[in-house]
Every structure is written in structure tokens, then in C-alpha cells.
């Protein structure tokens, strides 16, 4: 009987260890490559290939307000079959602008820090995280390219961040989140879209500004 109770206890720990972490929504972060290369030293080959594009930074399970979930520690598997099948699309949509190595310097850390929150030990695995991220990016682009939505904004010209938010809201029918680098609060770095974690449909981001406009209200989009 004691052995049976011990076995049940161990199995419960395994199940709890594989249970999906609780979170409220998904946030897809798309980064503007000119800003990435303004505040960092970019890989020359990537600059030539991805000039003036919004590319994936990551997909982050999270809550509308703090505290944010702490994801379990699973390690990235380069040979996971679904991930292998997606590497061509990931290289196009999710490049690491800073170094030539996309896989171990960008995809792996994003999965290990954020994607593991979505892994449930069975039906949703590593490859599904990358597949979902790509599909959400394409879902946004099916409505409009962000560059088209913001085409009335002149490059390097400061505009009120509420104007930029308004243009995006009128295009996507939701409010995204705008993010700027800490030391460049007047420069747009990322547009982040929030999704319902069950339906994967766009929803309003509750916090629409991160750093942008600190000390003022105007921001620019580097050309």
C-alpha cells in the first residue's frame, strides 16, 4: 500500500510538472529592423536582407498586468521534427539581426524563456510554439502590413504616439502596444499585438505604451 501511495505521489508531481502555466493572453512582438540596428551593431548580411521590415522578436504568454508568469525550464531541441520543418520560414520571419546564428542565439532563448509556458507535456510542444508564432504574424499581415498602416507617418519625423496608436487601431480594430528602447524613448522599436489565448484572435493590449514618449509625447519611426 505504501508503495502504491508513493507511486501516485510521483505521478502527480510529473503531471503537475507538465501542466501548462497559467497566463491570460499571448503577446506577439514585431520589431522594426532599422531601430534594432540603430541601437545595436547588426550583422551586415542581415541588414542587407531585412532592411526596413517588421520581424518577429517573440511570442510571450503573459498577463495584462504584473506579476507575469514564470515559465518552466525546458531546453530547446534543435532536432525536434516540427521545428526542423519550420526553420526555413523562421529564418525569413524571425531573423536575429545581431548575429548570423538565428537558431541558438534567438529562437532557443525565446523558447526557453517564454515558449515553455505554453508547453503542456502532450498536445502542445516546442514546434507548436514556433508554428503558432508564425501563424499569428501572418494573421496580422493578412489584415495589413504595419508599414502600410503607418504609411502616412514620415520617417524620422516625430509624431504624437497617440496618433500612431490611432492609425494602428483603425487598421487592426484593436489597440496594440508600442515599445521603445530605454535610452531612446522617442524612437519606435516594436509593435506588439495581443491575442486571446484560446481563440488566437486579436484583442486590445491593456498597456499600450512601454518607455515610448517618456518625458514627452512624440516618437519617430527611423527610416
In a domain, residue 19? The reply is: no
In a domain, residue 166? The reply is: yes
- Decide: 37 and 72 in contact? Cβ < 8 Å: no
In a domain, residue 1? The reply is: no
Which CATH number covers residue 48?
3.90.730.10
- CA 60 to CA 143: how far, in whole Å? 21
In a domain, residue 87? The reply is: yes
- CA 132 to CA 36: how far, in whole Å? 24
In a domain, residue 21? The reply is: no
Domain of 99?
26-219
In a domain, residue 108? The reply is: yes
pLDDT in tens, the chain (223 residues): 444 433 333 333 333 344 468 999 999 999 999 999 999 999 998 988 998 999 999 999 999 999 999 999 999 999 999 999 999 999 999 999 999 899 999 999 999 999 999 998 778 999 999 999 999 999 999 999 999 999 999 999 999 999 999 999 999 999 999 999 999 999 999 999 999 999 999 999 999 999 998 878 899 999 9
In a domain, residue 18? The reply is: no
In a domain, residue 94? The reply is: yes
In the chain, how many domains are there? Answer: 1
Amino acid at each position: 500500500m505504501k508503495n502504491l501511495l508513493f507511486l501516485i505521489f510521483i505521478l502527480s508531481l510529473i503531471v503537475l510538472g507538465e501542466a501548462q502555466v497559467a497566463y491570460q493572453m499571448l503577446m506577439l512582438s514585431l520589431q522594426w529592423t532599422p531601430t534594432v540596428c540603430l541601437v545595436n551593431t547588426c550583422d551586415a548580411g542581415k541588414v542587407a536582407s531585412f532592411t526596413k521590415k517588421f520581424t518577429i522578436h517573440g511570442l510571450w504568454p503573459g498577463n495584462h498586468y504584473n506579476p507575469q508568469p514564470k515559465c518552466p525550464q525546458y531546453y530547446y531541441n534543435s532536432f525536434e521534427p516540427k521545428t526542423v520543418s519550420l526553420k526555413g520560414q523562421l529564418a525569413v520571419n524571425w531573423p536575429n539581426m545581431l548575429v548570423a546564428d538565428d537558431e541558438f542565439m534567438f529562437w532557443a532563448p525565446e523558447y526557453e524563456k517564454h515558449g515553455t509556458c505554453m508547453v503542456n507535456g502532450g498536445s502542445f510542444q516546442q514546434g507548436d510554439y514556433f508554428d503558432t508564432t508564425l501563424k499569428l504574424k501572418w494573421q496580422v499581415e493578412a489584415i495589413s502590413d504595419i508599414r502600410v498602416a503607418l504609411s502616412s507617418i514620415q520617417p524620422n519625423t516625430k509624431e504624437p504616439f497617440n496618433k500612431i496608436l490611432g492609425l494602428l487601431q483603425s487598421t487592426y480594430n484593436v489597440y496594440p502596444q508600442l515599445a521603445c528602447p530605454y535610452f531612446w524613448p522617442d524612437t519606435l522599436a516594436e509593435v506588439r499585438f495581443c491575442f486571446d489565448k484560446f481563440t488566437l484572435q486579436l484583442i486590445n493590449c491593456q498597456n499600450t505604451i512601454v518607455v515610448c514618449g517618456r518625458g514627452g509625447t512624440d516618437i519617430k519611426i527611423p527610416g
